[in-house]
Amino acid sequence: MKKMRTAIQEIGFFFRTHKCCRRQWFCLLLALCAIFAPAFNSSQALAAKSTSEATQIVFSAEDDAFLDRVQKQTFRYFIDCTNPANGLVMDKALNLPADKPGVDFAHSAATIAGVGFALTVYPVGVERGWMSRETALALTRTTLKFFKEKMEHKHGFFYHFVDMKTGKRAMNCEISSIDTAIFLAGALFSAQYFNDREIHELALQLYSRVNWIWMSNGNKYVSMGWTPENGFITAAWDHYSEGLLLYILALGAPKHQVSPDSWDFQRVWGRYKGHTYLINPPLFTHQFPQVWLDFRGKRDRYANYFENSRQATLANHAFCLDNQPSFKTFAENRWGLTACIGPNEYQAYGAPPNPAIVDGTVAPAAAACSIVFTPDLSLAALREYYESKLLAENFGGRLIGRFGLSDSFNLDCNFVASEAFAINQGPMLLMIENARSGFVWKNFMKIPYITEGMQKAGFKKDGGEGNPPANAVVFETAAYVPHRRPVYESRKISENFTLAATDFADPAWNTAFPMVIDEKLSQTIVKPPLRMDFWILWRMFYNSKSLFFRFDVHDQELRANSPDEKMYLDDSLEIYINSRNLPFSWSTDHNFQIILSPDASGNELRVKEFMKGELLTKSLQWKYERVKTGYRVIMEIPRKEFELVDVDHFAASIAAHDVNANATVDVKFNWFFPLPSMMMAEIRLSELF
């Protein structure tokens, strides 16, 4: 296959540099086909076979008509929000009713990934009769020409966001490797579908100039991006993610291919409610690659990624149902956690394992894009979003606009996102199409470069090995739900009790209620091998003047590499307090954050109150002792300074970071701390003594 592509490129160069008549073109083309037909046909046959072995979903006529309606409405985004002069697509647009004023290109920058989705959407529009073939061809040519001739790039990679009219960098964003990969997937798909010489040449030129080796920056894995100000982004595609698509493209590329070793990225298995899957909480990370890549009936030596994504979706659904008593948004057919706009800001909503981010916000695309994995659940969710009287009554038609479903909604906050986003509308339309016809998969998997990339990654027919592999370690993390908010009863102690009068041998501490923070409360999974040789025994007393906290920390490997202002990056303890018994926020009102961290020697304790600074830090008193197995701390927190006078209960959380030499990130242990609103446990100041 590689020889064939080399020959094609050389012959193409010959024709560009020599004048040939049509007859010469035709004869040479026939010769080329005769030479390479066996290799090309075998790769096509392999792709076709693997696709045909997977069972296509069959919808009823009524359901199919409904899905057609959803797709057609979503399709309008890529008509109204695309600049016909250059093919650039708005990142987001106000999802107003159809009778309201049209789209203003000044509302948003363009998204490179959105263009990749658009280039894939146009052929669907042609096939479904929503767009003429001539219009789609012209717009595709315009787009690819603009990207080839006028778009600023770095070794073939494009900026994440650009100006809708000029294509110039917007918002000081990065050159993005994944957004470029999504654009390339769309370009290659359009070339495969239209079978147009000019489109094919433009797509191949854009693909060929991408230097995956450069973006790896001398490392094993491809960097997430680059900026002219700071160079390469430290984070790389070194873990299971939407980067699956990037690596298939980089492995099969006509030039600058990465080594097959790059496919050996981190894969960590987790489990929730009996569903086992590769950890990456937001659903889009499982969905985006499979807009184009047909993983049905296939696996590499690590996983069957289609089945993996099905399990991730089922776990996401289960977690939403588990949170029904906490959030009225969730119901059997109202579910789906993925990155979207929330009531306050953008959030990467997701389910456990790893920190669950949930506040009752549902992104319709989360369920819709999983329709290939969970057709019944996803179809029921789509019908709920379109047909529910409850949603119509609460939102008054705001959930559905000219582009179909808006980005997100939250019944608890009476919130509906005002906009639709290209990177949600595109995958939603395309995954529905794959569920209905397999159209995107059938075309994309015929591309020889993709076939080569899949082969280098080691894909084969799934022989029933199952997920995960037999020797894989499966992790579970604490799954917090607000309606099960824990309560700690703190005992009252004598008014004569002071920090000066107590020590670590004081028997009074044995009468306090103990709270153990250990691996059962682990909230972050790190790169294996995961060392869980860590736990905290926490106890608390109070009197009218002060709170008294004691921590016995078992941690034989103390690490402190950060300055005091960033000691939360080292081995540390955090005490979060909201004196009004409300969720913690990063405002200064009623919120406090005390951080304790042994210094580099381990012999001294660094202490700082981070919310209000030096004044409150000076009001704290503590005793610290290094022991063989870790360290111990007794801390006195004055009630007056921390707004806890005349308060018999307040919100608090104890968090700990265990930073180990063999971990890529720290392990975080929390006593109840769900995100993004940081709902904490309740401490009650009991009169028991």
The pLDDT value recorded for residue 527 is 57
Task: Answer yes or no: is pLDDT of 354 > 90.
Answer: no
The pLDDT value recorded for residue 584 is 93
State CA 63 to chain mean position distance: 30
250 and 397 fall within a common domain: yes
634 and 535 fall within a common domain: yes
pLDDT tens figures, 551-579 = 999 988 888 989 999 999 899 999 999 99
Contact (CB, 8 A) for 363 and 408 = yes
Task: Answer yes or no: is pLDDT of 20 > 70.
Answer: no
456 and 504 fall within a common domain: no
**Percent above pLDDT 70 for the chain:** 90
Least confident of 19-28, 457-466, 523-532: 19-28
| Inside any domain, residue 396 | yes
Task: Answer yes or no: is pLDDT of 39 > 50.
Answer: no
Other Cβ atoms less than 10 A from the Cβ of 132: the count is 11
Task: Average the pLDDT over 48-66 and give the result.
Answer: 76
19 and 93 fall within a common domain: no
- Final residue belonging to a domain, choices 19, 37, 52: 52
57 and 40 fall within a common domain: no
Contact (CB, 8 A) for 429 and 75 = yes
User: pLDDT band at 16, cuts 50/70/90?
Assistant: very low
Residue 13 is part of which domain span?
1-52
410 and 531 fall within a common domain: no
Give the whole-angstrom CA distance, residue 210 versus residue 164.
23
The pLDDT value recorded for residue 530 is 54
Q: Nearest-CA neighbor of 478 among 432, 517, 449, 420? A: 517
| Inside any domain, residue 582 | yes
| Inside any domain, residue 480 | no
Q: What are phi and psi of 68, to 5 degrees?
A: -60, -40
Task: Average the pLDDT over 420-446 and give the result.
Answer: 98
305 and 245 fall within a common domain: yes
User: pLDDT band at 525, cuts 50/70/90?
Assistant: confident
Contact (CB, 8 A) for 100 and 397 = no
| Inside any domain, residue 159 | yes
Task: Average the pLDDT over 628-650 and give the result.
Answer: 96
Burial class (CB in 10 A: 0-12, 13-18, 19+), 454: buried
- Final residue belonging to a domain, choices 455, 475, 495: 475
| Inside any domain, residue 623 | yes
Give the whole-angstrom CA distance, residue 192 versus residue 84.
22
User: pLDDT band at 526, cuts 50/70/90?
Assistant: low
| Inside any domain, residue 9 | yes
Burial class (CB in 10 A: 0-12, 13-18, 19+), 18: exposed
How high does pLDDT run on average in the chain?
Answer: 90
Q: Is the alpha carbon torsion for 345, 348, 351, 354 positive or negative? A: negative
3-state secondary structure of 134: helix
| Inside any domain, residue 409 | yes
Task: Answer yes or no: is pLDDT of 19 > 80.
Answer: no
Task: Average the pLDDT over 619-628 and give the result.
Answer: 96
Indicate the residue type of 295.
F
142 and 32 fall within a common domain: no
Contact (CB, 8 A) for 222 and 194 = no
Task: Average the pLDDT over 335-345 and give the result.
Answer: 95
| Inside any domain, residue 287 | yes
pLDDT tens figures, 92-126 = 999 999 888 889 999 999 999 999 999 999 999 99
Query: Checking DSSP bridges between strand 400-401 and strand 487-492, what pairing results, if any?
Result: unpaired
Task: Give the CATH number, domain containing residue 610.
Answer: 2.60.40.1190
- Final residue belonging to a domain, choices 434, 454, 475: 475
Contact (CB, 8 A) for 284 and 261 = no
Task: Give the CATH number, domain containing residue 377.
Answer: 1.50.10.140
Indicate the residue type of 441.
W
196 and 325 fall within a common domain: yes
Q: Nearest-CA neighbor of 668 among 516, 518, 549? A: 518
Burial class (CB in 10 A: 0-12, 13-18, 19+), 50: buried
Give the whole-angstrom CA distance, residue 178 versus residue 172.
17
Give the whole-angstrom CA distance, residue 373 versus residue 369.
9
399: tokens are: 């959930």
249 and 339 fall within a common domain: yes
**DSSP notation for 318-356:** HHHHHTTTT-TT-BTTB----EEE-SSSEEE-B-SSS--
453 and 524 fall within a common domain: no
The pLDDT value recorded for residue 470 is 86
114 and 218 fall within a common domain: yes
Q: Which run of H or of E encompasses 366?
A: helix 364-368
| Number of domains present in the structure of the chain | 3
Query: Checking DSSP bridges between strand 275-278 and strand 269-272, what pairing results, if any?
Result: antiparallel
The pLDDT value recorded for residue 676 is 87
Task: Answer yes or no: is pLDDT of 689 > 70.
Answer: no
Q: Nearest-CA neighbor of 456 among 51, 116, 6, 1? A: 1
